Amino acid sequence: MGVSRQRHLNQALLRIPRRAETADRATLTATFVEAGSFSAMLHSTDHQIVYGRRGAGKTHALLHLADLVERTGDLAVYVDLRTIGASGGLYADSSLSPAVRGTHLLIDTLEALHEELLTAVVERDSAEGPGLLPALDALAEAATAVRVVGEVEQETKIGGTAESAYSAEFSRSPAAGVSGRRAVTAERSLRRRGTEQHHVVFGPVGRALRALTRALAPARLWLLLDEWSSVPIDLQPLLADLLRRSVLPVTGSTVKIAAIERRSRFRAPSASGDLQGIEVGADAASAVSLDDFMIFDGSRSRAGEFFGRLFFNHASVRLATMLADPPADADAFAAECFRGTAFAELVRAAEGIPRDAINIAALAAQYAHDEPIGLRAVRMAARDWYLRDKQAAIAAGEPARRLLRALVDEVVGRRRSRTFLLEQAAGTGHELVGDLVDARLLHVLRRGLVDTDQPGTLYDGFAIDYGCYVSLLLDHDATVRPRDRGWLGSPKGLPPDGFSFGKAVLDLSRLG
């Protein structure tokens, strides 16, 4: 293979966009890769919450869904919740009351929704539909209602008007004078002293949206809310309550919300004691975990197929303008770009996170220069990405770093493994474990495992991130390397005969 061809292949890996919002819709559609039945489940008309850690592909999935539904004639409105509101950190300003912060959040969200709806309607040339523009006007009016909160002061001046050769002027300080005209003025005024505050009444918002969906019929309205977890967590139930009361009941509408599970709160008690927000499983039909789909049930071949198509779909867009005869399919692309078992090692290093795979592949392509990417280049790239991104995510948290060190020492160092079990109550209740999962330093392989000897106790299976022990693979001999993924990472996920949960489960309280 010529040097120039290999350079183009490696450059194609380097140029893959790291974030979905930086690519245009056509590219997103061309590069999307389905993970099992996830796409079909997402395309249902049920209201859904889509969970996934950073880099799992939530934004790409929502934008791909928007393209799919628009092809069928429906209307998709995508709103990035990071972009709403004014600068200055209004929502996070603790000096303001939760009511003020929350109301501004609702107003800004409704205004963003109105703007996106208006843009979508104009682009579709649908503004001529009966009732569509009045419904949009009603939504705008509901989103910008204002009331004055404060003291009310009334000021009154009383008198009459007459003509005479003389004039007397009456007020709170009477005065008399001679004139050819007598004038007495009367005035009554009501003065308010206070501050104007926006307020949201859910009824008008719901009526405006119902009028909108009736005007759109038979087309369906799809509201796609991305980056839910960017909203301050104490305000999220308030925004969820707006959706529950004004959007979810509207016939002809579907709401999809993309969120990071541990950074989301959809329901909380209100000041009156009632529950406020969305009840998952009732108001929103289901919560879908993209992370669970990206495990591929422990199948290495399915994971390899997914990431092979991911790289090929992205790179082929570039290679079409760089090479006269680019690789014909994903297998051919992987065979030309990677040497030996390097691609399988890259899939392993990605741990089911597409953005991590893309970044590691780009770094490995830099190490390879004009050569096919080898095993060592993948491992050096994985180490660099771990140090640069993942480890930095917990740099400020000493307890989390201490727990991670203890887990690596125990699981990798003493047990020569990369997987371990935690009692479910301990795992979900241990805040630091959740922080490490959120930072992609631990990965959940199996949930709700049952010990037949103690069926009342459930366990979760975890894997330590590849980056935590990749230095061992680079710098030490095979005797200190962790063994393969074991039964937790196998497609069946069944423990071997004679396996003892009691001996295998980690006790976090005993870790040094």
52-70 residue pLDDT tens: 999 999 999 999 999 999 9
Beta-sheet strand order (sheet of 454-464): 419-423, 454-464, 442-451
Contact 463, 349 (CB under 8 A): no
The average pLDDT across 252-271 equals 90
The average pLDDT across 442-454 equals 85
pLDDT band at 188 (very low <50, low <70, confident <90, very high): very low
User: What pLDDT shows up at residue 168?
Assistant: 41
Selected residue with higher pLDDT from 15 and 161: 15
Residue 351 has pLDDT above 60, yes or no: yes
User: What pLDDT shows up at residue 52?
Assistant: 92
How many whole angstroms separate alpha carbon 159 and alpha carbon 154? 17
Q: What are the residues whose beta carbons fall under 8 Å from the beta carbon of 208, sequence distance 6 or more?
A: 135, 136, 138, 139, 141, 142
Both tokens of residue 451?
A: 């010990």
Residue 322 has pLDDT above 80, yes or no: yes
The average pLDDT across 402-408 equals 92
User: What pLDDT shows up at residue 3?
Assistant: 61
Residue 421 burial (C-beta neighbours within 10 Å; 0-12, 13-18, 19+): buried
How many whole angstroms separate alpha carbon 499 and alpha carbon 495? 6
- What's CA 211's distance to the chain center, in Å? 29
The average pLDDT across 260-281 equals 84
Return the HEC string of 360-374: HHHHHHHHHCCCCEC
Domains of the chain: 3-13+294-391 (no CATH), 36-142+202-293 (3.40.50), 397-510 (no CATH)
Q: What are the residues whose beta carbons fall under 8 Å from the beta carbon of 55, sequence distance 6 or more?
A: 353, 354, 355, 356, 440
Strand 75-80 to strand 175-177: parallel, antiparallel, or no bridges (unpaired)? unpaired
